[in-house]
Amino acid sequence: MTTEQYNSQLAWLLQCDLREKEIPAWGKETLITVYLNKKTKNENLDIFSALIPNSCIETALSSTSWDFLRRYGHPACIQDGQKQVTYFRFGNSDKIEPFIIHRDFDDIRKSYNEIIEEFRHYHRLYHDFDKNELLKFDDRGETVVAKIESDRVEVRLKEIRQFLAMKEMHLAIYFDSKRHSELLPNELPISLDIQDDLTHYSFRADYENSSFKENHKSFS
């Protein structure tokens, strides 16, 4: 392996592209990714999003953990210690709402993603089922507001901002990226943990029990 190849693999393992370029650039494109489920033999990248009330932002920013998981967002009844049963529209009591609802049917039927009805109705969007796009019509014609796939959902930033202003909420976007490599960098410590603002980064070398492949020696 040449020095150039080694440095390239090391930069990929340390997720320099995601940490230094992709995440800082999020929200600057016309369409932003609000859902992603990318899996390869060496990488798992999950992106999810949720609507957080303005009054809850300080609490949400105090932790690097996700406030809302992909399996959340469905109606539920919760019973407290006094056996009082309360119905919650999204299955939680903290006022955080889903933006994407992942519909899963335990492999009996194919899973799919939905953008919440409130957003679709607020912008009066038309669902083009052939292209799986949400369209907005005006005097100038039609605009693609969202592209919906089984593993990725992209939504136009303009309509997101309009919706958030109306609801007095923020859109939180969560990242969970795991990369495994056969590379064993000698110049790095075996274990490394870094927490910077809203990012928690971990690196492990000489990793013998990889859940991906037996010959993987490190992961981040």
Each domain of the chain, given as residue ranges in start order, spans: 30-181
Q: Over the stretch 137-155, which tens digit does the pLDDT of each residue have?
A: 998 899 999 999 999 999 9
How much is the average pLDDT of 183-206? 63
- Quote the tokens at residue 2: 């040449």
User: In whole numbers, what is the pLDDT of the chain averaged over residues?
Assistant: 84
Q: How far is CA 158 from CA 19, 28, 44, 128, in A?
A: 25, 11, 29, 20
> For residue 74, is pLDDT > 70?
yes
> For residue 88, is pLDDT > 50?
yes
Residue appearing with tokens 């006094």: 82
Query: In the chain, what are the helix, strand and coil shares in percent, each to the nearest 5?
Result: 20, 40, 40
Q: Over the stretch 17-38, which tens digit does the pLDDT of each residue have?
A: 888 888 888 888 899 999 999 9
> For residue 116, is pLDDT > 60?
yes
Strand, helix or coil for residue 164: helix
Question: For residue 90, what pLDDT is reported?
Answer: 78
